[in-house]
Amino acid sequence: MPASARLADDYALEIRKSGAREKVFVHQITAKKQLSPNVTRLDVVAPRIAQVRRPGQFVIVHRTEGAERIPLTIADADASAGTITLVIQAVGKSTRELVGMKVGEAIQDITGPLGRPTELPEGGRALCVGGGVGTAVVHPIAQGLRQKGVEVVSVIGGRSREWVIFEEELGKLGRVVVCTDDGSYGRHGFVTDAVKELLAQERFDVVYAVGPVPMMRAVASLTKPLGVHTIVSLNPIMIDGTGMCGGCRVSVGGQTRFACVDGPEFDGHAVDFDLLMDRLSTYRPFEAEALRRFEEECKIGLGR
Amino acid sequence: MGWAVENAILNKMNSDTAHQTPAVPPALAEGGAQVPSKPLTARERMKIQRQPMPEQPAEERTRNFAEVNLGLPERIAMVEAERCLQCKDAKCVSGCPVQVDIPRFIQHVAQGNLAAAAECLLNDNALPAITGRVCPQETQCEVRCIRGAKGLPVAIGYLERFVADWAYRNLDLTPAKPPVPSGRKVAIVGAGPAGLTAAGELIKHGHDVTVFEALHRPGGVLVYGIPEFRLPKRIVDEEVNRLKAAGVKIECNVVIGRTYTIDELRRNFDAIFIANGAGLPVFMNVPGENAKGVYSANEYLTRVNLMAAYKFPEADTPVLHGRRVAVVGGGNVAMDAARTAKRMGAEHSIIVYRRTRSEMPARAEEVHHAEQEGIEFEFLVAPVEVLHDEKNWVTGLRCQRMKLGEPDASGRPRPVPIPGSEFEIPCDMVIVAVGTRANPLLTQTCPDLKLDKRGQIVVDENLMTSIPGVFAGGDIIRGAATVILAMGDGKLAAQKISEYLARKAVTA
């Protein structure tokens, strides 16, 4: 019997009494850690997802009634503890509210695992490139590659030392090259500079790049002339995550694809990054307004 | 809305349109909701005109999301019920996908026995408050009503809604005695109209029923698609709560094909009913379609309905506000999108449809309401390109005029482009409502499931798929259709599943 069906029996009586919307899993936050000035790691109870998730997959998180549904990559999972790890960059109201939650509090709805798992080669050498919060997305890919016996070299970066995340975790899976924009740690410069050098010196069978759109575009343009297969993970606006809304449509090789069901990973040489950037900006005035109101409420003590 | 308010609105409407007040025979005219002392003659029944549905005035309702139709008051419902001629061989019943015994429930209404009417109705139809609101009666039951031959058919849909709403307010619908447990477990994929109907039927047979829903709220298209002004969420919640009270388990946030596979379900349940809908929106495949301001109707309606974007910033999900909105398509979804855009503040909300009014698949009432609300219609027009500015925001829809040609596979005349007829509809938002197709999420992870070339699941006459014990129904087998057809599948599947489980018990 699926774990959730068993749980459903336990809750059935309660549901019958209250007539309320059932909560089969209580997605409690079991651990919380600030990874960089605006990136937070949450470990959340989601036993089934922890059990079946594969590299590259994501969940949709709906914090509470009235909140947005937001897609977040599963950065890690502990099947025995029944938890998944979410790494969240707090940029707008919804993500700030999410990272404002305390250990012991529960997220109302988590759906997943969604998206197609990463295509992992059997053997060879892979270069994993992570920029900012994208580094957390690279981590499960690197894990999957290691399990397949692929040799992994990671290049990760941030503005300065305090913005570098997942260095230790990726270090367990292979060599890590750290870059900082200001030179305060590791190599001075962008990840793309390090990637260019590595590609010139070493042979890689495949490159995975996850991070800000300009970074993924830059990496893809470096690998294209070399003919190195490059996979990028896209983060368009999404509602249901099951193919129903079409909001996450992206153009790949001139064809419209849905990131939630056809992706989120695509051939970096075929993605229309300009369109992705452009569509990501659709709700900018709304996001600014929501954040302004949120910050005002925080100031006068109404918010969390 | 309370009865008092509804009556007040109805009275106002009646006084405004006093000259149009339908004729009521003397036996019914006085004394409110009273059963006439002796049955009316057929001649007397024929004299009663169809009673109108009280509705929110168009100019008011385009500024709110409250329900348009207010429901018949009891007195009026009883008058309308007297119009039914109680045909021996009632054609209306055969037009109903779930075979509601229409004359019988209407007779109970006419006799003022509303509890009996409710019992009769609920016996045939698991979700009458919903179908009373969203069924295309004019192509199903009412079109076959004998009274339609001379005048207007009995308002079966209005009466169905009246009885269902009355039952929710006045009856305890929890089954007094739970059925004898069969010891069998059935999994249902999707908590939309097909899945909920099947769940209601299967639980009556004593099976242990679990419904898996991908979204965070049960209801499927009833909560993400159909707007509040046509089907209040409260109604769906009531129906869902009634199923739960009867013992149906509903698990939200479970995507079959991702969270669990069909194979896993097969190992844990004795039978499965797949009713996951035709979720994937179809786009027009014209240039400019990915510009900002182009929505699928699914996305637009989901933002506004399920995610309550009309309350932004009180609700967190935003939606763009178009001043001139072009909605492409001629079905109910197109009407819903156009009327929603109007309520979201659009000055012009324009339906762009490639055939003419008479080929539009939308319910007659939706088209009528849309017209009252000032929705504009461009018939015999097909988009060829979405125009946008240098920042990729929509500025218009380039279209081409069409004429009707030979009938196509659907039997409707095929629209044929008129060369050189291109023109532009200036607009800042485009909503694409040209249909949906099968969602591959579930079927991708279940290669044994036989599909047709459109990706829909192939079933036999018992709604069984190519995998024994796995049944399917609703949009996933027929493509985008109606709520009631999905419910009809749910009802039939439940019966066939029970038969299958009984057979299995014998052979086991």
Residue A225's pLDDT is what?
Answer: 95
Share of chain B above pLDDT 70, in %: 92
- The DSSP symbol for B417 reads E
Say whether A4 and B251 touch across the interface (CB within 8 A).
yes
Which architecture, in CATH terms, is B3-173?
Orthogonal Bundle (1.10)
pLDDT digits (tens, 9 = 90+) for B277-312: 988 899 999 999 999 999 999 999 999 999 999 989
Rounded to a whole number of angstroms, the distance from the CA of B305 to the nearest CA of chain A is 11
Least confidently predicted of A291-295, A300-304, B91-95, B315-319: A300-304
Say whether B283 and A289 touch across the interface (CB within 8 A).
no
| CB-based contact B59:B80 (threshold 8 Å) | no
Q: CA B13 → CA A150, B21, B50, B51, B134, distances in Å?
A: 75, 10, 15, 12, 23
Rounded to a whole number of angstroms, the distance from the CA of A140 to the nearest CA of chain B is 18
* C-alpha–C-alpha distance, residues A12 and A273, integer Å: 47
For Cα atoms B498, B499, B505, give the angle at the middle one, nearest 5 degrees.
Answer: 90
Residue B480's pLDDT is what?
Answer: 84
pLDDT digits (tens, 9 = 90+) for B40-66: 888 899 999 999 999 999 999 999 999
Please list the pLDDT of chain A residue by residue as tens digits (304 residues).
Answer: 344 433 333 333 333 333 334 444 589 999 999 999 999 999 999 999 999 999 999 999 999 999 999 999 999 999 999 999 999 999 888 999 999 999 999 999 999 999 999 999 998 999 999 998 999 999 999 999 999 999 999 999 989 999 999 999 999 999 999 999 999 999 999 999 999 999 999 999 999 999 999 999 999 999 999 999 999 999 999 999 999 999 999 999 999 999 999 999 999 999 999 999 999 989 988 888 888 888 888 776 654 4
Same fold flag, B185-279+437-507 and B283-434: yes
Interface check A237 vs B, CB under 8 A: no
Rounded to a whole number of angstroms, the distance from the CA of A247 to the nearest CA of chain B is 6
3-state DSSP assignment of residue B29? helix
Token pair of A176, please?
């890590």
* A277 CA to centre of own chain: 17
User: What is the rounded average pLDDT of the residues B186-202?
Assistant: 96
| CB-based contact B204:B243 (threshold 8 Å) | no
* C-alpha–C-alpha distance, residues A99 and A89, integer Å: 8
Residue A299's pLDDT is what?
Answer: 75
CATH annotation of B185-279+437-507: 3.50.50.60
Residue of B259, B265, B392, B441 to mutate when probing chain A, most A C-beta within 10 A? B259
pLDDT band of residue B38 (cuts 50, 70, 90) is: confident
Per-domain residue ranges of chain B = 3-173, 185-279+437-507, 283-434
Classify domain B283-434 at the CATH superfamily level. FAD/NAD(P)-binding domain (3.50.50.60)
User: What is the rounded average pLDDT of the residues B73-95?
Assistant: 95
Least confidently predicted of A177-181, B16-20, B427-431: B16-20
Q: Which amino acid would we find at residue A285?
A: P
Q: Which residue of B has its CA nearest to A263?
A: B441
Say whether A240 and B214 touch across the interface (CB within 8 A).
yes
* C-alpha–C-alpha distance, residues B1 and A180, integer Å: 62
User: What is the rounded average pLDDT of the residues B80-109?
Assistant: 95
Say whether A48 and B258 touch across the interface (CB within 8 A).
no
pLDDT digits (tens, 9 = 90+) for A190-199: 999 999 999 9
* C-alpha–C-alpha distance, residues A227 and A233, integer Å: 19
Interface check A258 vs B, CB under 8 A: yes
Residue A297's pLDDT is what?
Answer: 81
Say whether A16 and B245 touch across the interface (CB within 8 A).
yes
pTM, entire model: 0.88
Say whether B259 and A112 touch across the interface (CB within 8 A).
yes
Residue B40's pLDDT is what?
Answer: 87
pLDDT digits (tens, 9 = 90+) for A70-128: 999 999 999 999 999 999 999 888 999 999 999 999 999 999 999 999 999 998 999 99
Residue A2's pLDDT is what?
Answer: 40
Q: CA B196 → CA A13, B131, B238, distances in Å?
A: 20, 13, 12
Residue B13's pLDDT is what?
Answer: 38
Q: Which amino acid would we find at residue B129?
A: A
User: What is the rounded average pLDDT of the residues B410-428?
Assistant: 94
Residues A96-124: b if buried by 16+ CB within 10 A, e if exposed: bbbbebeeeebbbbbbbbbbbebebeeee
Interface check A64 vs B, CB under 8 A: no
Interface check A8 vs B, CB under 8 A: yes
pLDDT digits (tens, 9 = 90+) for B369-414: 999 999 999 999 999 999 999 999 999 999 999 999 999 887 889 9
Token pair of A61, please?
């998180």
* C-alpha–C-alpha distance, residues B282 and B292, integer Å: 17
Whether B222 has a pLDDT exceeding 90, the answer reads yes
* C-alpha–C-alpha distance, residues B222 and B227, integer Å: 8
The tally of CA atoms less than 13 A away on the side-chain side of residue A238 is 28
Residue B28's pLDDT is what?
Answer: 53
Say which residue the tokens 């069924």 belong to.
B135
User: What is the rounded average pLDDT of the residues B355-369?
Assistant: 92
Say which residue the tokens 């967190």 belong to.
B316
Q: Which residue of A has its CA nearest to B318?
A: A286
User: What is the rounded average pLDDT of the residues B348-362?
Assistant: 95
